[in-house]
Amino acid sequence: RKAFVDLDRDESSGLSREEFRRYTFDPRFEGMCDVQGLTAVFADRIFETHSVKGPANARLAREAFATSTSSSKADPFVARAIEKRRLQTANEMDFHAFLDFALAWSNKTHPASLAYFFRALDVRERGVLTNMEIWTFLKGVHDAWQADPENYDLNMLDVRDEIFDMVKPATPGRITLDDLRRCGCADVVIEILCDHTGFWKYDNRESLPGDDD
């Protein structure tokens, strides 16, 4: 609960995408890693696929307003309050959705966690991650990396190839949920694709101390 409260900077009882993205910010790397947090495209996909307060709830809010009494709808204060609530439910993540994410993120290799993340990564809902899906998520990482003039020239095609080499999918170029479950490094793949902080840690893995050090 404390993590949710800390992220909820505007105290709205819900997390905006920007607030949610700060979940992986690590103060130990401040000053070394210029861009931290979950990537924007990954946050969008989590909101689309797993946020309780998504389009369906926005629809329910509209329906509730449509079926409310005419006197309530005529009251401009009530109308503004309902509209504000509708917009909030469409754009914020509640505590229960956040808890689902936090549990999955803390144990990325658990079968249920992998299914959770695969649903977000599978943009076209085809049951496989191909070059298109991999690049969709790597592009945000690459853009942030290039924005720092002190970073070396990173070839994202090499990173893509590393991901396929790590997973070793049964069908080359097509990563399935079963491939992720079997590969033993799904947690690393998820962090590379979805988290600026995680990607930076991966790129600097040989020079960083272990978590236990």
The two tokens of residue 27 are 């103060």
Whole-number pLDDT of residue 145: 83
pLDDT of residue 164: 97
- How confident is the model at residue 55, as a pLDDT? 45
Sign, CA dihedral 73-79-85-86, equals positive
CA distances from 10 to 20, 110, 203 (A): 12, 33, 34
The reported pLDDT for the residue numbered 61 is: 47
- Using DSSP, state whether 174 is helix, strand or coil: strand
Listed as ranges, residues in the chain with pLDDT below 50 are 53-55, 58-59, 61-62, 65, 70, 72-73, 86, 212-213
pLDDT at position 168, please?
97
Predicted pLDDT at 76? 64
Q: What is the pLDDT of residue 88?
A: 52
| pTM > 0.85: yes or no | no
